[in-house]
Structure formats: structure tokens, C-alpha cells
Amino acid sequence: MHQTSIDFDICQNRHRGNAQSVAAFSGDTSQQRMQVLEAIREAGSHGLSCDELSAKWGVGCNAISGRFSELKMTGLIVKSGLRPTRAGKNAAVYRLGGER
């Protein structure tokens, strides 16, 4: 069974007491999480990396990577391979969980 409600900060250990970092999580991330999920759904079997979506939306990957982590943790998305980023590094590509 997949966890569907995310009411905790997946990056809590990374804040290390930094008040700005904690404040960045304080907002409701559910809408952005659903937007990321919809973008991955639209990508279909091709999948989508955080780098690709951040380029499409014109935001830094750090602004949305937490949503990828949350969705992966719930099983709503799964890693389906690797693709090069704009910087030439390999990045995980995700597709909807339960798809072949």
C-alpha cells in the first residue's frame, strides 16, 4: 500500500537548523507535487527527469526535486532509467508507478 499523504519534510535532515531552509518547506507543497505528477504522466513511457522539468518550467531543479523525492517515496513514480542533463551528467528518469 502506498502512502498518499505527505505531511512531513522529506529533506528535514538536510536543513541542519537553517531557518531559511525550514521556512522554504513551510508552504503547502501538495499543489506543486500534483503538477509534477501530471507532468510525468504527460511524458508517458518516455519519462521525465527533474532536470528536464526544471528546464521546461524555468526553475532550478532544487525548487522541485523534493516533489520528485516525495512522489518516489509514495510509489506514485518510479525510476525508469538515466538520461544526460543539460550539464552532461546522468539524471534519473521517472515514470508513473505501476506502468510497464
Looking at every residue in the chain, the average pLDDT score rounds to: 84
Asked if residue 36 belongs to a domain, the reply is yes
Asked if residue 6 belongs to a domain, the reply is no
Asked if residue 25 belongs to a domain, the reply is no
pLDDT tens-digit map of 29-72: 889 999 999 999 999 999 999 999 999 999 999 999 999 999 99
- What is the pLDDT at residue 89? 96
- What is the pLDDT at residue 19? 72
CATH of residue 55:
1.10.10.10
Q: Which domain range does residue 46 map to?
A: 30-96
Q: What is the tally of structural domains in the chain?
A: 1
- Per-residue b or e along 60-83, where b marks 16 or more CB atoms closer than 10 Å to that residue's CB: ebeebbbbbebbbebebbbebeee
Asked if residue 46 belongs to a domain, the reply is yes
Asked if residue 20 belongs to a domain, the reply is no
Asked if residue 18 belongs to a domain, the reply is no
Asked if residue 13 belongs to a domain, the reply is no
